[in-house]
């Protein structure tokens, strides 16, 4: 009787865990657009480090807005797409690998000039 109770309990726990598994969302933006936006965000982040601490948040918001204008996106859309990306680690790894490759290529071009 105890074995049956343990087996039933394990079975119920397995069913509960299967119900918690969700398919990961993929951002609605194309991968190429997402890469370009993230590259621009990284460049903007680096540029804001040159400002005084008291000015950084304001400048960061301006850069965020400008990046949205460049890519024809509003800031809320950028934020939601990045949140979706963060919820999908495998896809995020793919995207960020390409982002860092792109940034490395940019810095190599600048070093060769």
For 18-59, the pLDDT digits (tens) are 445 455 566 788 899 999 999 999 999 888 988 898 888 899
Q: Could you give the CA distance from residue 60 to residue 78 in angstroms, rounded to a whole number?
A: 14
| Residue showing tokens 């991968």 | 31
Domain ranges of the chain: 27-112
Q: pTM score > 0.85 for this model?
A: no
Find the mean pLDDT for residues 56-72. 92
Taken in order 69, 72, 76, 80, the sign of the CA dihedral is negative
């Amino acid at each position: 009787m105890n074995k049956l109770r343990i087996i039933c309990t394990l079975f119920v726990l397995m069913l509960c865990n299967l119900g918690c598994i969700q398919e990961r969302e993929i951002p609605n933006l194309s991968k190429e657009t997402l890469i370009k936006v993230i590259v621009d965000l990284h460049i903007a982040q680096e540029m804001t480090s040159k400002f005084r601490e008291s000015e950084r948040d304001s400048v960061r918001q301006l850069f965020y807005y400008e990046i949205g204008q460049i890519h024809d996106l509003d800031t809320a859309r950028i934020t939601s797409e990045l949140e979706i990306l963060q919820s999908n680690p495998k896809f995020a790894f793919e995207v960020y690998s390409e982002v860092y490759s792109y940034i490395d290529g940019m810095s190599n071009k600048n070093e060769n000039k």
